[in-house]
Amino acid sequence: MKAIGLIELPNLADAIEALDIMLKTADIRFLTWEKKLGGRLVTIVVQGQVSAVTESVEAAKKKAKGNIVAAAVIANPHQETMKLIEISASKYSKFQELTY
């Protein structure tokens, strides 16, 4: 079963570090990110199997240096929920994938 995981942190640097921890912990995929309150809150959204998403969110909560102000795992998200995430992700489609 697919799930989405969300974590929210107070700045972009902490969010990127938490995302890196999440991606290294489990087989998940980064979907998008949102910046609110002038960048004072950054939300990261990932997707994968329920167990992998849960493991990655928990790892970020334990290991990330930034203060995670909110976290959630949503198993089998509704189509309308996924539409909202697609709208968010479409804002960043102009960026090309980085290769290194």
Query: Where do the structural domains in the chain lie, given as residue ranges?
Result: 2-90
Look at residue 20 in the predicted model and tell me its pLDDT.
97
- Is the pLDDT score of 35 beyond 80? yes
* Rounded average pLDDT over 56-84: 95
Residue percentage of the chain with pLDDT more than 70: 89
The set of residues, in sequence order, having a beta carbon less than 8 Å from that of 7 and lying 6+ positions away, is 15, 18, 22, 43, 44, 57, 60, 61, 68, 70, 71
* Rounded average pLDDT over 3-31: 96
Superfamily of domain 2-90: BMC (bacterial microcompartment) domain (3.30.70.1710)
